[in-house]
């Protein structure tokens, strides 16, 4: 039992989460890609409201907490001008990446932005020697599941009642970067 929790007492493993901001073109949009900071939290919440029909699954406290975990957590944002059009967050250890959150403004969906964000996180996981990237997705979110499957993710197990606000099950999905573990 103690071995199971030993990671709480150890120094976090080193991962390279450095990210240099840049400008890119996606589907005719000129977009600024950068690492999120506390100054982006209000925009993150507004985007969540758009994506989740007025709800904000993550609170400002949740985002602030994730942004402070600089040793193993990174959030990337994409802006067109002053408008946040998408974001993605992840946690990393040397052997694994985990996507914690991704959202794209409904007006910008189906234009490759979600795929672009996912590929940024997958590349970060590869850069850190990860064997796999994992995430959870609502079992009723077929659109997101299709995006993840198109990137090579496969179904894992179902987490019953995973989403607290409405008790919908969560499907774990896994992208094996170095072959499936036995």
pLDDT in tens, 2-38: 454 455 455 556 899 999 999 999 999 999 999 999 9
**Per-residue pLDDT tens digits for 96-151:** 999 999 999 999 999 999 999 999 999 999 999 999 999 999 999 999 999 999 99
**Would you place residue 181 in the very low, low, confident or very high pLDDT band (cuts 50, 70, 90)?**
low
Annotation says 10 is catalytic = no
| Closest by Cα among 137, 142, 129, 117 to 31 | 117
Tokens of 69: 């975990």
At 89, give phi and psi (nearest 5°): -130, 150
Annotation says 136 is catalytic = yes
Task: List the catalytic residue out of 48, 66, 79, 136.
Answer: 136
Task: List the catalytic residue out of 75, 79, 116, 148.
Answer: 148
Chain centre distance of CA 121: 7
- pTM higher than the cut 0.75: yes
Percent of the chain with pLDDT over 70: 91
């Amino acid at each position: 039992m103690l071995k199971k929790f030993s990671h709480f007492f150890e120094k976090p493993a080193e991962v390279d989460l450095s990210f240099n901001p840049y400008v890119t073109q996606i589907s005719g949009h000129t977009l600024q890609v950068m690492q999120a900071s506390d100054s982006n939290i209000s925009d993150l919440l507004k985007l969540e409201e758009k994506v989740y029909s007025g709800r904000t699954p993550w609170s400002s406290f949740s985002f602030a907490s994730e942004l402070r975990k600089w040793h193993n957590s990174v959030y990337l944002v994409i802006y067109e001008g002053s408008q946040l059009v998408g974001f993605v967050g992840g946690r990393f250890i040397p052997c694994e990446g985990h996507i914690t959150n991704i959202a794209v403004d409904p007006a910008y969906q189906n234009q490759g932005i979600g795929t672009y964000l996912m590929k940024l996180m997958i590349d970060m996981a590869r850069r850190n020697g990860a064997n796999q990237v994992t995430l959870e997705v609502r079992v009723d979110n077929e659109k997101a599941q299709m995006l993840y499957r198109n990137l090579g993710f496969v179904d894992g197990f179902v987490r019953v009642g995973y989403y607290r606000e409405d008790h919908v099950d969560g499907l774990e999905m896994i992208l094996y970067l170095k072959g499936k573990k036995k």
